[in-house]
Structure 1
Amino acid sequence: MNHPVVEQLERTGYSFRVKDSILYGLDGLGNEVYEGDTILTFNEEFFLKETLPSDAIEILEVIGAEEKKA
């Protein structure tokens, strides 16, 4: 079992946020979301798409979540 940060680095590679990035907010799972990130919205909640496993994305889409940019 890997640390969540290690798993994210393996999925997305090393990246960093420029200090000028504008924080959109925290998603339903506590992930920082910045303007321009892809999110899935359902009811009044949103989720950072890049952190979700494919089955979670599929479930959210089936129940009516919409994909948009933060």
Structure 2
Amino acid sequence: MVSFFKILRLYVLYDWFSSISSTGEGVWIGANTVILPGVTIGSNVAIGANSVVTKDIPSNTVYGGVPAKFIKNK
């Protein structure tokens, strides 16, 4: 039997991850990267491992760090 709290937890996780929108193709996200809700990631973007993405990322760029900062254009 599934408890109410498990259903609530799944709903909260779905709501959390459904607010992330990755527009376009060719997005690379490194291991252990945290992307906060409401952040939009452009096309052809690379995000380094262990980064924390707090703001929108434009297309054709490389970001990394805590918080994720611009590194270079592709």
Q: Same-fold call, TM > 0.5?
A: no
TM-score with structure 2 setting the length: 0.28
Q: Which has the larger radius of gyration?
A: 2
TM-score with structure 1 setting the length: 0.29
Which is richer in helix?
1
